[in-house]
Amino acid sequence: MVERIFGKVGETIQVKGKNCPEGFVVINQERPTPESTCELVEGTENSYYWKEPEKPDAKLLKIEEAASIRKEVETSGIEMTEMTCEDFTLDTDDAGQTKITGAYMLAKEDSDSSEVTKWYTLSGWRDVTNADIIKMGMEVNTHVKKTFEEMERISSEIMVLSDVEVENYEVEFVI
């Protein structure tokens, strides 16, 4: 005798048994169910109709992997050279980008100023001028744009691959 299984529509459960139509499982006291993970589609008091969950799209999963790598590259920092101070690594995480954007906007209003601002970088404190801050803002903007351009290139590559090729595709960001 098969145990009666209750669930809500959309719920995923593990069921065991055999003898059912392909892709669907009828669960009631008279008929056993196949061993699988199933999603409840609809049900009545005496029978419950389940279907196998759809296999995740391999291409979309690979694009999600690429998006995660893109964000990691975007927020990993950039090297700032040819500044009025010693070279440094600029933080490009979300908070860093926000600070740089705000400082950039203010620096643009007075770009000729030789006023020095103390700025904390991943390399330590630096004295930067408005010209340096403007350069920082432009470099961060360019860096972020390049990560999205690379993401678009990778996504386009993935979408034309076969399922087997997608499984073997290694996401590599080159910016």
Domain range summary for the chain, segments of one domain joined by +: 12-51, 58-168
Question: Is the full-model pTM beyond 0.75?
Answer: no
Quick: pLDDT tens for 9-24.
444 444 444 444 344 4
Please tell me the predicted confidence (pLDDT) of residue 91. Answer: 97
pLDDT digits (tens, 9 = 90+) for 110-138: 988 888 999 999 999 999 999 999 999 99
pLDDT digits over 20-62, tens only? 434 444 444 333 344 444 444 445 444 445 455 567 789 999 9
CA distance 57 to 92: 32
